[in-house]
Amino acid sequence: MKPMDEIFYWPTHELSQLAAVWPEAIGRKNCGDTLLSNRNGGYVSFNYLHRGTLRHQLGRNPKSRIKAGSAFAILPGQHYSYIADEADENDPLMLWVRLAGPGAKQLIKTMGMEPRTQRIQIQQPAQLMTLWKELFTLQERHCGVVSDAAAIALLYQMIPLCSPDSNHTGMDETPGSLAQRIRNFMYDELERGYNVSQIAQFFKLSRSSLFLHFKREFDQSPIAVLKQARLSKARHLLTETDLPMEAIARACGYTSTNHFFHQFKSELGTTPLAYKELPKELNPNRPE
């Protein structure tokens, strides 16, 4: 497939008179095998992966996989990279919009992309794609202030399709019990640092109902499962990477490096630094 990297700048610069955020440019990128590694200059962008899988890295965070139906943001001054996942036969296709205006960062935050990861799973991808198509049509057939106002409205219509607070009960399309789906969500979204109450809210459950589901399915509390997931990922990163402790703490969803050290020593009886330095044969807790 022929590589595609299309960029379309918005035809007018009068949008600042209409709203606090507006589209500066939009585009489509067939990522293919191309690695992009860059330091973003001064723009905010909202990027949606319509097809395929990417390996993505933001700043000093560990690399993570982004699947079709996910979106991520790039903010001014950040180092970022992404490359097609070699295990995925689908040629990745990404749509993006470069945002301008004093409200650009706030729009990204309102969509649910937190500063820690700036990545979300889109709750209603079909509806979002409809809005993307309308945005491209408005750019192509631009007719002055009417198109400008409509484009700004489309940006705001994207918010409820992205936000975790939208009317969505979880990953209903995923096979398995509700408890299994929630556990998968915990593992997939560790770096976002969700606590049990936030996870229950996302799946439209009370905290007590979440505990009952986990007790019945795993004979464990969701707190215990979440703690084990964080420790397991931390052990893997300690033994398989040279990431600094701050980055490992962030990747595992700990609220701080001190919290990471305290939880790790409490569970394994040693500090992360000592654990990393121990030879495999002397470390019974080291993952195989």
Q: What is the DSSP string of 2-52?
A: ---EEEEE-S-S-GGGT-S-EEEEEEEEE-TT--EEEE--S-EEEEEEEES
Res 118: pLDDT: 73
Cβ neighbours for 263, distance < 8 A, ≥ 6 positions apart: 227, 230, 231, 254
Average pLDDT over residues 276-287: 58
**Single-letter code of the amino acid located at 249:** A
The residue among 15 and 106 whose pLDDT is bigger is 106
* Domain covering 5-162: architecture: Sandwich (2.60)
Q: What is the pLDDT of residue 282?
A: 43
Per cent of the chain over pLDDT 90 is: 27
Report the pLDDT value the prediction gives residue 192, as an integer from 0 to 100: 80
Rounded CA gap, 118 and 44, in Å?
11
Choice among 30-44, 94-108, 127-141, 201-215 with the minimum mean pLDDT: 30-44
Superfamily name and number for 178-282: Homeodomain-like (1.10.10.60)
Nearest to 103 by CA among 26, 28, 21: 21
Which among 114, 119, 118, 135 has a CA at the least distance from the CA of 28? Answer: 135
Q: What is the mean pLDDT of the chain?
A: 81
Residue 110 CB-density burial (10 A; 0-12 exposed, 13-18 middle, 19+ buried): middle
How confident is the model at residue 259, as a pLDDT? 93
Q: What is the pLDDT of residue 169?
A: 36
d(CA 168, CA 194): 17
Give ranges for CATH 2.60.120.10 in the chain.
5-162
* For residues 14-19, average pLDDT: 75
Cα(82)–Cα(33) distance, integer angstroms: 10
pLDDT, residue 262, reads: 94
Task: Please state whether 193 falls in left (phi above 0), alpha (psi between -120 and 50) or beta.
Answer: left
- Full-model pTM: 0.58
Pick from 149, 127, 205, 121: which is nearest to 22 by CA? 149
pLDDT of residue 281: 46
CATH 1.10.10.60 range(s) for the chain read 178-282
pLDDT of residue 89: 63
Distance CA 152, CA 282 (A): 60
Determine the angle formed by the axes of helices 178-188 and 207-218, rounding to 10 degrees.
Answer: 100
Give percent of the chain above pLDDT 70.
82
Residue 256 DSSP label:
S
Least confident stretch, 150-159, 181-190, 254-263: 181-190
Per-residue pLDDT reduced to its tens digit, 165-203: 433 333 333 334 788 888 888 888 888 888 898 888 877
User: Is the confidence at residue 82, as pLDDT, over 90?
Assistant: no
pLDDT at 176: 47
Cα(62)–Cα(96) distance, rounded to whole angstroms? 23
pLDDT for residue 114 = 67
Asked if residue 73 has pLDDT above 60, the reply is: yes
* Model pLDDT for residues 88-103, shown as the tens digit of each residue: 666 788 899 999 888 8
